[in-house]
């Protein structure tokens, strides 16, 4: 459980420095429970993981890699990833100082296996989005484990920063910045089921739920029937006695279905957690009342991206040209699946990430290429229009995106000039 709280606390940064300043001057002035210290130690491990991920990503990819991934300007993602990396690095060093001030030792012998997340920019962006969404859930879960008012306040200041990371990465992934009005809190064992495959070589001190992997490789939308792979699905419990359960922000309880007929529920946009349980009783959407003893495997996390924000389209207009269409009815549909497996471990932890981007219906088709001179576009669009800039000076590939007239009116005056100037 501490592993999750650790990740959550990773952003405590300045708040923790302020909190621990008296401790540095008077080491015995503030008593700290062993669980709190352990939470800080594990949080530091998670911050090390994030810092490693972003450092390697920034080192590996150059500006042309980001433009090839469909961004209007390489500076749009680079500025954000650099800022996030700076946050995570600050959290790491601050937590180390805090742990030392409290008389503890940092865990420094972990290996972070992030290479599989850095095969290309689209994979890296999708993985970063998933990690930050998990971080928010981890932070929420951590708040239930801290009974020190000052520490819980410091932890809450971290959560807001993690949520900012989450939002900007939703945008960079070409999806909805704020897809749900609520987030979901997860306990540490659940977080480890999602992230444990990235960490090896050190003892984190907490049991992980058995990982769960979605087998589907195509677009995942409402009504998609899912199948799974997990070490726990070994026939010990008959499939007929198992349920799949879907949990999203704002659900009072999970949506429970027979595992043999497990289909994505309707009316969900954004992150969706999936569990396999040995009971059809819906899991409560709170850590106190959730019947965690019924969980056989999971959660795993998928993204239901059935909407694109105008902001996401403006930031990454070429997203749809970097993926292959999977159907004619939804011409801008893609999915990415990432499996995270430890390099050396007796237990396999997997994380399945599915993202999709679906075209929004409308009557205006814009074919936009980055040009040396911004195209002159009307600010008011009331009828079908096709705009095709033909002079391309920087090697961009034209991309066709379908949006509504009202969306076009709103973004043409501001988004297109910014794309050209980038």
Rounded distance, CA 96 to CA 88, Å?
12
pLDDT at 175: 95
Task: Give pLDDT tens digits for 174-185.
Answer: 999 999 999 999
* Binned average pLDDT, 10 residues per bin, the chain of 422 residues: 37 44 39 70 82 96 96 97 94 80 84 95 96 87 76 78 95 96 92 88 87 92 96 94 97 97 96 97 94 96 93 91 34 38 34 34 34 36 38 36 44 37 38
Q: Give pLDDT, residue 326.
A: 31
Q: Which two tokens stand for residue 143?
A: 């708040």
- Residues 399, 317: contact at Cβ < 8 Å? yes
How much is the pLDDT for 354?
33
Residue 211: partners with Cβ closer than 8 Å, 6 or more residues away: 193, 194, 196, 197, 230, 231, 297, 298, 300, 348, 349, 350, 351
pTM: 0.71
pLDDT of residue 151: 72
pLDDT at 391: 36
Report yes or no: 249 and 209 within 8 Å, Cβ to Cβ.
no
Task: Determine the pLDDT at residue 32.
Answer: 62
CA dist., res. 141 & res. 8, Å (int): 8
pLDDT, tens digit, 9 for 90 and up, residues 72-102: 999 999 999 999 999 999 888 877 877 787 7
d(CA 16, CA 376): 51
Q: Which two tokens stand for residue 1?
A: 């459980």
First to last CA, the chain: 44
Do β-strands 243-247 and 255-258 pair in parallel, antiparallel, or remain unpaired? antiparallel
| pLDDT at residue 156, as a whole number | 80
386-387 and 364-368 strand pairing = parallel
Measure CA 402 to chain center.
26
């Amino acid at each position: 459980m501490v592993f999750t709280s650790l990740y959550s606390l990773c952003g405590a940064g300045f708040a923790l420095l302020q909190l621990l300043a008296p401790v540095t001057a008077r080491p015995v002035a503030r008593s700290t429970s062993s669980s709190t210290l352990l939470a800080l130690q594990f949080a530091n491990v998670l911050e090390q993981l994030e810092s490693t991920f972003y450092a390697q990503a920034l080192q590996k990819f150059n500006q042309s890699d980001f433009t090839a991934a469909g961004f209007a300007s390489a500076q749009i993602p680079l500025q954000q990833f650099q800022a996030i990396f700076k946050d995570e690095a600050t959290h790491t060093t601050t937590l180390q100082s805090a742990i030392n001030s409290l008389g503890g030792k940092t865990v420094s012998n972990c290996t972070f296996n992030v290479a599989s997340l850095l095969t290309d920019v689209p994979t890296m962006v999708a993985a970063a989005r998933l990690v930050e969404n998990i971080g928010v859930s981890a932070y929420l879960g951590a708040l239930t484990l801290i009974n020190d008012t000052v520490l819980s306040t410091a932890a809450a200041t971290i959560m807001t920063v993690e949520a900012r990371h989450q939002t900007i990465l939703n945008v960079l992934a070409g999806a909805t910045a704020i897809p749900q009005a609520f987030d979901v809190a997860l306990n540490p064992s659940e977080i480890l089921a999602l992230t444990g495959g990235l960490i090896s070589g050190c003892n984190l001190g907490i049991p992980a739920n058995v990982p769960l992997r979605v087998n589907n490789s195509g677009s995942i939308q409402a009504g998609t029937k899912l199948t799974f792979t997990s070490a726990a699905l070994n026939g010990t419990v008959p499939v007929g006695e198992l349920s799949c359960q879907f949990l999203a922000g704002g659900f009072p309880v999970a949506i429970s279905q027979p595992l043999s007929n497990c289909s994505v529920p309707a009316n969900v946009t954004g992150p969706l957690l999936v569990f396999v349980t040995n009971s059809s009783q819906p899991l409560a959407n709170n850590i106190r009342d959730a019947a965690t003893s019924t969980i056989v495997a999971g959660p795993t996390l998928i993204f239901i991206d059935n909407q694109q924000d105008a902001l996401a389209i403006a930031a990454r207009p070429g997203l749809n040209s970097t993926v292959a269409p999977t159907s004619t009815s939804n011409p801008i549909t893609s999915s990415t699946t990432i499996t995270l497996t430890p390099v050396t471990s007796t237990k396999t932890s997997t994380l399945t990430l599915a993202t999709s981007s679906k075209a929004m219906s409308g009557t205006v088709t814009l074919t936009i290429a980055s040009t040396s001179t911004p195209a002159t576009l009307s600010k008011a669009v009331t009828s079908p229009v096709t705009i095709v800039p033909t002079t391309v000076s920087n090697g961009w590939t034209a991309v066709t995106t379908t949006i509504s007239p009202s969306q076009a009116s709103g973004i043409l005056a501001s988004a297109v000039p910014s794309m050209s100037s980038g």
